[in-house]
Each structure stands twice: as structure tokens, then as C-alpha cells.
Amino acid sequence: MRNKFEALNSDRAKEVMADSHLKENKPTTTKEKTKKNQMVYGIPVDLAAAVDATGESLSSFAKRAMLRLAKEEDIF
Amino acid sequence: MNSLADFKLKLPFVIVVAHQKGGSGKTTTCINLSVELSKLLNTTVIDADSLKQFTTFNSKRKEPLNQKHISTSEALEQHLRADDGLTIIDLGGYDSDFSRAALILSDMIIIPMSDSDNDIDGLGEFMSILEKTQSVRADIKPFVLVNRVHHADKSTHNDLSAFAKDKPFEVFDTVIRNNKLHTKMIFTGENVVEKKPTSKPAKEILSLVKEILTKA
């Protein structure tokens, strides 16, 4: 008789597990974390850092407007 | 209780306490069994129920039971490959790929159920999951535990035993009856045997432990 670990990794087990109602909460991968961190209130981290570096106090609305302009100019 | 050598249970061994419906007594059963089986065997408990009531119970204990926090099938497989003792898993009342992995990796599934319509409905749903799990591993042993029934109830166990004859599960002989000793365990950190060793609920739990060790 095959052992339980072989059974768990069998095609039939994968079918049975895929058929469940809920999916596991997989731990967040480094890649996903990086993607999340790239945005601050919908603004790329690079742009937010560049604006902060100017010392100007800008609202997120202003930052988004800058982002829109930057995209039009192919800067981001 | 007899010595361990008299019983069938061989380590490593995995017990999963599961039922599709909430309120069937999964965590209560898990608490009572974990405390008693920890006295006999090297036991690890995994609280996979989102309510985390076993974890609360364990945090109240003077000497907490050995507990691991595992929520993915990969982590569960890794733990079981390395562990040579008894693992008890308290599964929540949900159907997920993790819960199915736990069922596939189990040696014994305990399904607590009362005589409520909710639990009987849930057993029907859970049976289809059991059948799928047994299509992966035919040697898994599911047992229904008649739980939380009235102290004078006789029909639930008889009816379920008759119903189970052509079904993919057996029914434990032990019946756990409603008793206030089973309540508030979560907040006191003591199971029924520790609370009142000579009480009826304590005797029922010890009888269940003996049955598990014999039927494993």
C-alpha cells in the first residue's frame, strides 16, 4: 500500500483538493509583497519618493495628477 | 486504564476532528481528547479552526499542550513527515483544500454530531467529502461520535449505527452526553477529567480515549 504522502501528492488527491469550496490562504510571497509595496495610495513608490524629496507638501490628488502627466509624457 | 502496549494505536498517528457544521462539538471533543491523549503519548495539536478556541483554551492552561500553528497543506505535510508522535487536528466547519489535505493525511477521522437537524444535514454533506477522500486513501477510518445528546437519549446512537451499516464510517460505542462540565473549558484551561475526575462526562471521555486506542 502506498504511503499517505504519496497519496497526498497523487493526481487524484490534487483533483479532490481542487474540488473544495475554499482555497488556502497561501503565505504572501516576496514577489507579491514587492508588488504591493510599489504603490502608495495608488501612486508608484518612485514618484512618491521623488515628490517627498522636493520637500513640497502635496496631496495624493496632486500626486495622482502628476502621475497622469508623467504617464502622458512617458516618464513612468 | 490498560498500558499502552495493550492497544492497537501505533505511532505516528493522525487524528482529525471534523464536521461540516459548526456547533457539533469539534473543539470540545478536541480539547477533551488532547489533554487525555497527551498524558499517554507525545501529542501535537493543530488548531485549524478559524475561531481559534483551542488556542484560547491552551493559553489558559498552567502547562500548555504542545501546539503548532499550521495553515497550509505543504506545512502540514512537512510537520507530519518529521513528527513521530500523535497529531490531533481541530478542523473548522469549512471545506477547503487544507481541510481535504488534512483528511487525506489522517489515520482516524472523528466526526462529532448531535441529534440536531443541522448536524444530520451536515453529515450528509460531509459524507460526500469523505467518499472523495477515501477515493485517495481507502485506509482512512472515519468514526461518528454521538455528542451533546440528552442524558436519556438512546435512539440517536441506535439510529446512527443502523444507518452506518452500508456507509463509509463507523459509530463509536461511547456516547458523550450534554453536561455543563463541557462548557467554559475554553476559559478555565481544564478539560472535564481535570475539572471533575469522577464525573459522568469524565468517565465518558476516558471511555472514548480507550475506544480510540483500541480501534485505531
In chain A, domain spans: 4-72
Average pLDDT of the residues of chain A: 73
Q: What pLDDT shows up at residue B8?
A: 76
CA distance B153 to B164: 18
Beta bridge partners of B13: B86
Chain B: closest CA distance from residue A29 (Å): 14
- Are residues A24 and B97, on separate chains, in Cβ contact within 8 Å? yes
CA distance B174 to B207: 6
Which member of B96, B133, B135 has the closest CB to residue A24? Answer: B96
Residue B95 touches partner A, C-beta closer than 8 Å: yes
Q: What is the pLDDT of residues B139-194, one digit of tens each?
A: 888 999 999 999 999 899 998 899 888 888 999 999 999 999 998 898 899 999 99
Rounded mean pLDDT, A31-49: 61
Q: What is the pLDDT of residues B182-195, one digit of tens each?
A: 988 988 999 999 99
Specify whether the CB–CB gap between A23 and B97 falls below 8 A: yes
- Are residues A25 and B81, on separate chains, in Cβ contact within 8 Å? no
pTM score of the predicted model: 0.79
CA distance B122 to B147: 14
- Which of B 119-178 lie inside 8 A of A, CB atoms? 132-133, 135-137, 139
CB atoms closer than 10 angstroms to residue B5:
5
Domains of chain B: 10-215 (3.40.50.300)
Length of chain B: 216
Q: What pLDDT shows up at residue B170?
A: 93
Beta bridge partners of B105: none
Residues of chain B with pLDDT below 70 are 1-5
Give long-range contacts, CB 8 A cutoff, 24+ apart: B118-126.
Answer: B118/B21, B118/B23, B119/B19, B119/B21, B119/B23, B119/B24, B121/B21, B122/B19, B122/B20, B122/B21, B122/B24, B122/B93, B123/B19, B123/B20, B125/B20, B126/B18, B126/B19, B126/B20
Q: Tell me which residues of chain A have a C-beta less than 8 Å from any C-beta of chain B.
A: 1, 4-5, 7-8, 10, 12-13, 16-27
Residue of A nearest to B97 (CA): A17
Asked if the model's pLDDT at residue A27 lies above 60, the reply is: no
The interface predicted TM-score (ipTM) is 0.84
CA distance B90 to B149: 21
Taking contacts as CB-CB distances below 8 angstroms, the residues of chain B near A20 are: 95-97, 99-100
